[in-house]
Structure 1
Amino acid sequence: MQQERVPPLPARMGIACYKCFKEEDVRLSRCSGCHRVSYCSSECQKLDWKAHKPMCKALSSIEKNPIASTTLFFSLPSEPTTDLNVLHNNSETHGSNILSFCTRSLSREVTIPERNLVGWEPRCMVCTRTDQLIRMEVAKNGTTSNDFQRLVPCPQCNLSFCCSPAHWQAARALHHGPCEDGHDGLSHCEMNREVRADIKFEEVMASAHDASGQWMWAPDRIKSSWSSLGGLSWEREFGDDMRKSVGVPAERPMGPWIRAASDHLTMAMTILYALEKLNDDEAWTRKHTLTIHASILGAEMKEITGAMVFEEVLHRLPEVKTLKLVLCGPEMPGGHIPRTIPLETCPDCTRLGRKRIHEHVADTYHGFVQNKGTKFEKPDLCIAFNSGASQESRHTWSTTFKLLVDRKIPALFTAYNREEAEAEAALLCAAGAKLHPDLGPSKNPWGSIKVIPEPNKVYGFYAVNGWLAGGFS
């Protein structure tokens, strides 16, 4: 049975049907209860009502709760501001309060789709008001200083909002100026437009392949020799190969294809980038067997679903005969005893006798090392993709940090955004790691360029391996 798709970003924001996800060529109507989700027809609303009903009632009850009214309005700025710290703190506090009210109303924890409704609720870019807050303000005062009683989207990107023309004027420089989380000097608005294009690309892929919309690609050529990754970019390095591979006409841009491929291919390229930086010479490129340990966390496990992209490591290192990848994490399928999985290679690699071996271990990384005892062999690199070490399980990760430092295991940690990277770098330094100056905390030149707007914020994006938290040896 095919798993039902998680509502995409436009549906979470109320600008696409929450059931069928249609956005164009349909007339959307807001749910009359919570005013939070939209539907393209009564049929879609009826089909979704059983799932939506609990959260609908929880959200609706907030507007009738006098304590909620006082709490939610407490930190709203009286004047528009472009101070990102103020805006982010307000948005995150508001989201946390909404989740608390909903959790009490539901008498249970909110689900991921329910949490997403709160995280990606549209907010004014310079005062963080939501449609719900505007309604509550009108009900409380009988009037409002805003010219509109509903958020107005940017006509160019349709993913950022303001509550009045005056606030749009105040937000103009922020919205149309260079975005730190972007690339090639693109503005926040231009990055939003790329996000819109990527969502449409996913819809096409999902329709064509009856799948989740996650499209993966890796080049099937083998490089004649190792060459440095310095000065390269996703477009320059992969654009021509991808265009030929997928048959995109010359007059059409490759942007959505490149960005989609980077979301998984980032794992192989980040490994190679770290190895190049952490080694003083190129001896590592000529090893018979290259061993990578990946410490992973979370249920999505891109490392498993995107296993094919790791062959790019072999394809860029023609002298390496075997790539051994150990995937280690508490949520891995299986048990503490490593489960060896030989994987297929491309016809050329197979003809040349090259191998790709994966091992799965359901354990923390320090648990895996301790269980190996004297049989543990130091890898060429231990990498933790988007570990979230500064966000959760800090005690568990601190033990891993200490082990990596004490045993002088070459390691790299990546993060989704600057905030996580800088916090993780501080934890690594506290554990005694001496961070390589080119490996964080900084943006990852080989992080995914398929970005997602930050939840509970009005500005900024995050991406898979978007930032390097710290590398050391």
Structure 2
Amino acid sequence: MQQERMPPLPARLGLACYKCFKEEGVRLSRCGGCHRISYCSPECQKLDWKGHKPMCKALSAIENGKISMAAATLFFSLPNEPTTDLNVLDKITNAHGSNMLRFCQLTLKRPATMAEGNIVGWEPRCMVCTRTDQLIRMEAAKNGTTSEPLAHLIPCPQCNISFCCSPAHWEAARALHHGPCEEGHDGLSHCEMNREVRGDVMFEEAIAGAHDESGQFLWAPDRVKAAWSSLAAVSWVTELGDEMRSAIRVPEERSMAPWIRAASDNLTMPMTILYALEQLKEDDAWTRKHTLTIHIIGAGMKEIQGAMVFEEILHRLPEIKTLKLVLCGPELPGNRVPKVTQMDTCPDCTKGGRRRVHEYVADTYHGYVESQGTKFEKPDLCIAFNSGASQESTHTWPATFKLLVGRKIPSVFTAYNREEAVGEAALLRGEGARLHPALGPVKNPWGSIKVIPEPNRIHGFYAPNGWFAGGFQ
């Protein structure tokens, strides 16, 4: 059964139909209740109304003053003059997003779903004063001035997903918007990164469902390398560009960039594992082992749905006979009793007697190790992809940190962005870990290059495994 897909970024911003996701060749109309999302037709709005109705009413209640103190709280700390101080802007937008979500949940009388939270998190706002369409309308009503009921922020004519509330504020924001973006790549500006994001969304929509029920684009090379070669001096483009063009038969005149970015979103997992092993090990003896054992801790559905890409580890290590992956995480389906699955391999690996074994355990890693007792075997590497240890999952990780450091298990943690990486690095050092300088906190050269704008912020991007938080042994 195909899963219902999460509305993409343009739909969250009201720039595409929230039901069918179309944005080209259609006339969009804003929802008359919340003024936040758009539809291409009454039919799409009717089909989506059951799902949207609770959040629509919650957002409308804020604007209509049905929640006491909501307006005062939302207006608090809004700057009167434009500012390009990113720390100030981030502080305001994070506070505003948190308050909005809290007020909505008071009306919902339950936690917001991920889709509902996304409507709040990616709400368009002025880049230099943080005002939103809703705040502009509420401010006008408070001051008794006239305002168009459906007035919108002014979008950048080039990227269309950054906004300002007036021409004067656009002048103030111009240098920041068109200057190099720290969280980007290849020296691209914030505006250019936005355009790349829009291109990736269009690419994703064009291929949605063609490769995987979840809508993910899953691709990995089907060749076996003749010998291991270092990942230290190559990149996504130089390593995969020509190979991918030939495999997928993309014409020479078309850029491979969207394809590579899409593939990197899942291939980042095996490539990050290989790069981390190369950095942590003193020599290349690990590339010639009979069995290579990797423990993926804090694992979730992304690792399960993208399981096929892990064969790239075997394909780059031709002397390995068995790749054993233990996927361990309290959110995995199943229970604490390990479930072993023999995975399919490509014809070349099968012919050569090479195996890939996945073991699934629904438990914390320290719980798993404790349950194994004397049967526990130290892996070649423990890795946690985007653990959220310094933010969302602070309560489950300290015991695992202590165990990894105490038992001297080679380990690596990745994060979505610099902030998370720095926070996790501090936690790891606090447990006594001596971090490898090439493994954090530092940008991961094999992190996904399919970036996503940060929610509840005006500037900045994040990506799966975008940063190494720390590696140690």
TM-score range relative to shorter protein: over 0.9
Give me the whole-angstrom Cα distance separating, in 1, the residues matched to 2:426 and 2:303.
Answer: 26
User: C-alpha distance in 2, partners of 1:336/1:111?
Assistant: 27
Question: What does residue range 207-218 of structure 1 map to in structure 2 within 5 Å?
Answer: 208=210, 211-218=213-220
| 8 Å Cα contact 1:336-1:363 kept in structure 2 | yes
- Residue type of the alignment partner of 1:105: T
Matched, 1:202 2:204: yes
Question: Aligned pair 1:328/2:328, yes or no?
Answer: yes
CA distance in 2, matches of 1:393, 1:28: 39
Residue-by-residue CA offset, 1:344-384 (whole Å, 9 max, x unaligned): 11111111111111000111001111111111111000000
For residues 400-437 of structure 1, give each alpha carbon's deviation from its aligned partner in whole angstroms, at most 9, with x where no partner exists: 00000000000000001111110000000001000000
Equivalence for 1:139: 141
How far residue 42 of structure 1 moved from its aligned partner, in angstroms, is 1.1
Distance 2:122 2:188 in 1: 22
Deviation at residue 150 of structure 1 after TM alignment:
2.3
Please give the alpha-carbon distance, in whole angstroms, between the structure 2 residues aligned to 1:297 and 1:350: 27
What residue number does 2:54 align with?
A: 54
- State the partner residue of 2:349: 349
Distance in 2 (CA, whole Å) between partners of 1:35 and 1:139 is 16
User: Match for residue 103 of structure 2?
Assistant: 101
CA distance in structure 2 between the aligned counterparts of 1:145 and 1:126, rounded to whole angstroms:
21
Cα 1:284–1:208 change in 2 (3 A) is closer
- Tell me what 2:5 maps to: 5
Distance in 2, matches of 1:398 and 1:378, equals 19
After TM superposition, the structure 1 stretch with the greater mean CA deviation from structure 2, 409-418 or 207-216, is 207-216
Q: Which of 288, 291, 294 is the matching residue for 1:292?
A: 294
Secondary structure in 2 aligned to 1:395? Answer: coil
Shift of 1:67: 1.4
Matched, 1:121 2:156: no
2:419 and 2:146 mapped to 1: Cα distance?
35
CA contact (8 A) 1:381 1:409 kept: yes
The alpha carbon displacement at 1:144 in A equals: 8.1
- Conserved? CA contact 2:211–2:218, under 8 Å: no
Q: Would you say the 8 A contact 2:31–2:39 is kept in 1?
A: yes
The one of 168, 171, 175 equivalent to 2:170 is 168
**In structure 2, distance between residues paired with 1:149 and 1:358:** 54
Distance 2:360 2:24 in 1: 43
Question: Where does structure 1 differ by over 6 angstroms across 4 or more consecutive aligned residues?
Answer: none
CA distance in 2, matches of 1:442, 1:2: 37
Check 1:102–1:24 CA distance in 2 against 1; reply closer, same or farther (3 A cut).
same
Partner in structure 2 of residue 177 of structure 1: 179
Letter in 1 for 2:442: S
Query: Which residue is 1:456 aligned to?
Result: 456
Q: Which moved more, 1:148-157 or 1:395-404?
A: 148-157
For 1:316-351, what per-residue CA distance to the aligned partner results, in whole angstroms no more than 9, with x for missing partners? 111111110000001112221211101111111111
Q: Give yes or no for contact 1:390–1:427 (8 Å, CA) kept in 2.
A: yes
Displacement, 1:78? Answer: 1.3
Q: How many residues align?
A: 470
Q: For residue 393 of structure 2, what is the aligned residue in structure 1?
A: 393
Cα distance change on mapping 1:144 and 1:90 into 2, 3 Å: farther
Q: Is the 8 A contact 1:125 1:160 kept in 2?
A: yes
Amino acid at match of 1:437: P
The letter for the 2-side match of 1:355 is: R
State yes or no: 1:91 paired with 2:96: no
Whether contact under 8 Å (2:230, 2:278) holds in the other structure is yes
Q: CA deviation at 1:209?
A: 5.7
Shift of 1:6: 1.3
* Cα separation, 1, equivalents of 2:311 and 2:43: 46
CA 377–92 in structure 1, closer or farther in 2 if over 3 Å, else same: same
Q: Which residue in the other structure is 2:408 paired with?
A: 408
Q: CA deviation at 1:207?
A: 6.1
Could you tell me how far apart the structure 2 residues matched to 1:240 and 1:69 are? 55
Quick one: distance in 2 between partners of 1:156 and 1:207?
A: 29
One of 69, 72, 81 as aligned partner of 1:70: 72
Question: CA separation in 1, counterparts of 2:39 and 2:147?
Answer: 30
Matched, 1:472 2:472: yes
Q: What SS does the aligned partner of 2:373 have? A: helix
Aligned counterparts of 2:17 and 2:468: Cα–Cα separation in 1: 36
Residue by residue over 1:294-326, the C-alpha shift from the partner in whole angstroms, topping out at 9 and shown as x without a partner, is 00255xx21111111111111111111111000
Q: Quote the Cα distance in structure 2 between the aligned partners of 1:212 and 1:29.
A: 28
> Which whole-Å deviations, capped at 9, do the CAs of 1:431-466 have from their partners, x for residues lacking one?
100000000001100000001110000001111101
Q: Distance in 1 between matches of 2:34 and 2:428?
A: 44
Q: Which residue in 2 is equivalent to 1:30?
A: 30
TM-score after normalising by structure 1: 0.97
1:347 and 1:37, CA in 2 relative to 1: closer, same or farther beyond 3 A? same
8 Å Cα contact 1:416-1:466 kept in structure 2: yes
**Structure-1 residue corresponding to 2:427:** 427
Q: Secondary structure at the match of 1:394?
A: coil
| 3-state SS in 2 of match to 1:396 | coil
CA contact (8 A) 2:137 2:147 kept: no
**1:278-289 superposed matches below 5 A:** 278-289=280-291
Letter in 1 for 2:202: K
Give the Å deviation of 1:241: 0.5
Q: What is the alpha-carbon distance in structure 1 between the residues aligned to residue 211 and residue 341 of structure 2?
A: 27
> Residue 378 of structure 2 corresponds to which residue in structure 1?
378
The percent of aligned pairs where both chains have the same amino acid is 74
Aligned ranges for residues 250-329 of structure 1 at < 5 Å? 250-298=252-300, 301-329=301-329
In structure 2, the residue corresponding to 1:110 is in which secondary structure?
coil
CA displacement at 1:210 relative to structure 2: 8.2
1:226 maps to what in 2? 228
Counterpart mapping for 1:440-455 below 5 A: 440-455=440-455
CA RMSD of aligned residues (A): 1.6
| Alignment-mate amino acid for residue 448 of structure 2 | S
Choose 47-56 or 273-282, whichever is displaced more: 47-56
* Runs (5+) with no aligned partner, structure 1: none
Deviation at 1:34, TM superposition (A): 0.8
SS in 2 for 1:53: helix
